[in-house]
Amino acid sequence: MSGGEPAHHTWRYRWVVLGVATFTQAASGFFVQGIGAMGIHLRHDLSLSTAQLGLLLSAAQLVPLVGLLVAGELLDRYDERWVVGIGAGVVAVSLGVGSVVRGYSSLLLVLLIVGAGYSTVQPGGSKSVASWFDASRRGVAMGIRQAGLPLGGVLAAAALPVLAAALGLRAALMAGAVVALLGAIAFMGLYRRPPARSPSRDGTPPDARSHASLASRSGARLRMLREPSMVKLILSGMSLVSVHSGVGVLTVLYLHEVTAVEEGSAALVLVAAQGAGVAGRVCLAAWSDRSRSGRYVCVLACMAAVTAGMSALITPVGRSPVAACLLFIWLGFFGIGWYGPWVAHVAESAPPGKTGFALGSVMALNQIAVVLAPPALGLLRDLTGSFAPSWTLLSALTAVALTVTARGEHRPGATAWRRFRRIKAGDGGGGRDLR
């Protein structure tokens, strides 16, 4: 459809798509994002160590190591409406089943299945938004959509501890199931592809792709992941997603045990940190839309801010209740907000026809850090009896990623090379800088 009032109204529907993608993201991640806020309750109710608590978060993120790759392939072949909707439905059903079983082992199994369903929601929602918004608005749109995860965390941190304390863990699981089901229904009912879109809107004709050999496709995609721009995205993503995991699992425990903040107030600080992450994902992505230096400079700024914040927690300043609360809000803004410009950069850096694969692959590699970070940080806390080693480790990893990925960002000839790659990809050189 081109031109005229009908086309104008059709393209206004992109805001409906953005809204439903954001809601489904929040709904699908609602229960898992609330695990950290329920940390004190879970440790008491199930007699857990900090490492075991971290393992609960890892269980939900383990299957996506493979699931995100599968989801990426499915999204390049089938309508996002069904891929995402069915995945969110799996989350709902598994949490519903979890509400009728007991014990730590059963909860781990339930969260493994939750992770399988959630594998489609993250890349699927991102591809949906990327296909409806052009580069001039894609950053802020992707930031709003990616704000769904911390937004779900805000609501979960506020509601689930109260619900679990009043009615028990089963009630919290059932609440997560109902919310996830609403997300699945909303996405399947409201999502539509953009007008005049073929199944391969991002550039590759379906026939050409379907006739390509599996070996050649696999080789091309592995080469894509070895590109310097993709390596930078992987390194920065793994370091920053570890920070996000650390904030989620350790904030409430740190405030309660180190700064003597009571349990309810500590959970509210996590709510505030998640809220700051919501704002960060939108504001930082909007900044990346307008930055002449490219989106990745915004990611570099987030790594620098996170390194400073984590380092401050190790000092005596971090033992002050007021200062610690402010530091966690700072870490929420940058340590959660980074994802908006980062995922927009991933979508734009993908070759034509491989947006789903690029999103799924890079997110799957991120999952390695998401799986390992919570139990590793918790075990470090259990073994040393202190949170300082955990904050030191996160700060060091982020500083190393910042140093490595910042090299050559403005090297001579880089701009010409990026322009050449855009022209080769069919952008004609008229789009924005993809790095």
- The pLDDT tens digits of the residues spanning 318-336 come to 999 999 999 999 999 999 8
Q: 198 pLDDT exceeds 60?
A: no
pLDDT of residue 102: 78
CA distance 299 to 294: 10
For residue 3, which of 196, 223, 275, 267 has the smallest C-alpha distance?
196
Ranges 43-57, 71-85, 126-140, 298-312, most confident: 298-312
Q: Mean pLDDT across the stretch 93-104?
A: 85
Determine the structural domain holding residue 119 and report its residue range: 9-190+218-424
Q: Burial, 295: exposed, middle or buried (Cβ in 10 Å; 0-12, 13-18, 19+)?
A: buried
Total domains, the chain: 1
pLDDT of residue 264: 79
Residue 247 lies in a domain: yes
Residue 108 lies in a domain: yes
Q: Supply 26's token pair.
A: 């929040």
Q: How far is CA 425 from CA 121, 339, 429, 430, 435, in A?
A: 27, 25, 9, 12, 14
Residue 211 lies in a domain: no
Q: Mean pLDDT across the stretch 121-128?
A: 81
Provide the angle, in degrees to the nearest 10, between the axes of the packed helices 388-406 and 355-384. Answer: 150
CA distance 143 to 286: 7
Report the half-sphere exposure of 49 (CA within 13 A, side-chain side). Answer: 14
pLDDT of residue 216: 52
Find tokens 């798509």 and name the residue.
17
Provide the angle, in degrees to the nearest 10, between the axes of the packed helices 321-337 and 339-349. Answer: 10
Residues in Cβ contact with 251 at an 8 Å cutoff, skipping those fewer than 6 apart: 36, 266, 269, 270, 273, 328
SS (HEC) of 115-169: HHHHCCHHHHHHHHHHHHCCHHHHHHHHHHHHCHHHHHHHHHHHHHHHHHHHHCH
Q: What's 403's domain CATH number?
A: 1.20.1250.20
Residues 236, 342 contacting (CB under 8 angstroms)? yes
Helix (H) or strand (E) segment spanning residue 324: helix 321-337
Handedness of CA 139, 144, 147, 148 (dihedral sign): negative
Residues 145, 125 contacting (CB under 8 angstroms)? yes
pLDDT band per the 50, 70, 90 thresholds, residue 295:
confident
CA distance 173 to 150: 19
Q: DSSP states of 337-403 as a string?
A: HTHHHHHHHHHHHSPTT-HHHHHHHHHHHHHHHHHHHHHHHHHHHHHHS-SHHHHHHHHHHHHHHHH
Q: Which amino acid is at 112?
A: L
Residue 196 lies in a domain: no
Q: 293 pLDDT exceeds 60?
A: yes
Residue 210 lies in a domain: no
Find tokens 């721009």 and name the residue.
229
Residue 205 lies in a domain: no
Residue 1 lies in a domain: no
Q: Read off the pLDDT of residues 38-89 as tens digits, 9 standing for 90 and up.
A: 877 777 777 778 788 878 877 877 777 777 777 777 877 888 888 889 999 9
Residue 434 lies in a domain: no
Q: How far is CA 366 from CA 191, 351, 358, in A?
A: 27, 20, 12
